[in-house]
Amino acid sequence: MKEKDWNTIGFLDKHLNLPVELKQEAKELSISLLSWDSAHFNAGMHKLNFVPENSSPAELSSILPTKRSKDKKLHCFAEVPSEANGAIQILIKAGFTLVESRMTYFHLLKNLNSPENPTRAAVEADIPWLRKTASGAVNPNDRYHNDTFFSPEAANRYLETYIENCIRGFAETVFVPDLEKPPHSFAALSKIHVKNAEEIQPVYRIPLTACLPENKGWHYHLCLAALHYARQKNAAALVMTTQTSNRAVIHNCEKLGFRFGSSFHIFAKEL
């Protein structure tokens, strides 16, 4: 498994001819403390940046933080490409558990369908409705709801906080239906932050979507609005990730003209 395949947009290289400077290649076994996540969950939240296939379960375990009697709970996860068989075996032998399988799709913003339904950008007044949407339209196979480290309530609060922060500036925009009633669906849109991004066309991503029955069918229209927005911004591509079990989103990706880019797994462990 080549190191570059661990970077967020590595699978786009051959399609976009991205410069070498964009590739943030990890070469050694390493771990990071996630400050925002740690504060939100009141726990020590960590992410494995890279697991070399020539390392061992013992080496991996040696870099994990250890819990003392009065410490907060500790958690660690890793996003691993599905073809990184060696790394996957090391994680399993070190006690990590599979909590989510994902696929990432990409769209080169060509031959877009025409918008069919009107959309608008979410505003702060929409936050209460979209928080309810985020926690009311969850996929039980997402990493937070499928990881026993998080209670269902904690997983829901995370999604509610995430979409609220997106509206307050974490995302570039959040699309909702432009209807004369409160929105019950959304699609957030943000830029992928990469080195020297100002020197190339931007790459956008949809980090979170949700749709309640009150807005049945709107996921397609909101993602289509995001695609048109990205093209207007002269983006090179738009990427979207979903669980392998989320057939509704996969169907819309194919209907919208997305192409399969990569698949990967998320492993997690309470320390």
Q: Which of 73, 102, 131 is the last residue of a domain?
A: 102
Q: Kindly state whether residues 142 and 238 are assigned to the same domain.
A: yes
Same domain? 42 vs 127: no
Q: What is the pLDDT of residue 262?
A: 85
- Among 72, 102, 132, which residue terminates a domain? 102
The answer to whether residue 270 is domain-embedded is: no
Q: Considering the entire predicted model, what is its pTM?
A: 0.88
The confidence band for 26, taking pLDDT boundaries of 50, 70 and 90, is low
* Final residue in a domain of this structure, among 65, 86, 102: 102
69 & 117 share domain: no
Q: Which helix (H) or strand (E) holds 31?
A: strand 30-33
Segment 186-242, tens digit of pLDDT: 999 999 865 555 556 788 999 999 999 999 999 999 999 999 999 999 998 999 999
In angstroms, the Cα distances linking 198 to 25, 42, 172, 192, 203 are 20, 36, 16, 12, 11
- Which tens digit of pLDDT belongs to each residue from 82-104? 888 999 999 999 999 999 999 99
- pLDDT for residue 117 is more than 80: yes
Average pLDDT, the chain: 88
Number of domains in the chain: 2
Does residue 129 register a pLDDT over 60?
Answer: yes
Range of the domain at 57: 3-102
pLDDT per position as a tens digit, 57-72:
999 999 999 876 567 8
Say if CB 157 and CB 145 are below 8 A apart: no
Q: What token pair was written down for 178?
A: 């432009």
- 250 and 134 within one domain: yes
Please write down the HEC assignment for all residues of 33-58.
ECHHHHHHHCCEEEEEEECCCCCCHH
CATH code of the domain containing 244: 3.40.630.30
Q: Are residues 198 and 240 in the same domain?
A: yes
pLDDT at residue 54 above 50? Answer: yes
